[in-house]
Amino acid sequence: MHNSSDVWKAAKYKKELDKADRTRQEDRERISSMQAEVKELKSRLQTAEGGREKDVKKLESSLAETQKQGRRAQETLEKEKGALATAEVDRKRMQEELAQARKEATKAQGELKNMQVI
């Protein structure tokens, strides 16, 4: 009986060891699968970061160009404002000169009529 009990225990231990070996192999396979997944995710992340850096550089370049264009537009606007102010001053001066010339013409016409009357 002692002998059959030992055989039964040995069979039981063998069964438990086989089960532990299968579990260990399944765990190794899961770990290997997870490692491959982590490697794939790292690769995707690097690709995404590389693309993002490229996009950021494009945006920075576009922003710099837009700022340059904005400065040029602002400079042009300031020049146009200056030219407009100068034109307005010239217009007022010319209106004053025209008004003065009209007064002088009216005066000259009056003097001419007075001379003709005499």
d(CA 10, CA 19): 14
DSSP 53-65: HHHHHHHHHHHHH
Half-sphere exposure of residue 28: CA atoms within 13 angstroms, side-chain side? 6
pTM of the model: 0.48
List the chain pLDDT tens, one digit each, 118 residues.
Answer: 457 888 888 889 999 999 999 999 999 999 999 999 999 999 999 998 888 888 999 999 999 999 999 999 999 999 999 999 999 999 999 999 999 999 999 988 988 888 877 6
Q: Residues 68-84: pLDDT tens digits?
A: 999 999 999 999 999 99
The SS3 call for residue 42 is: helix
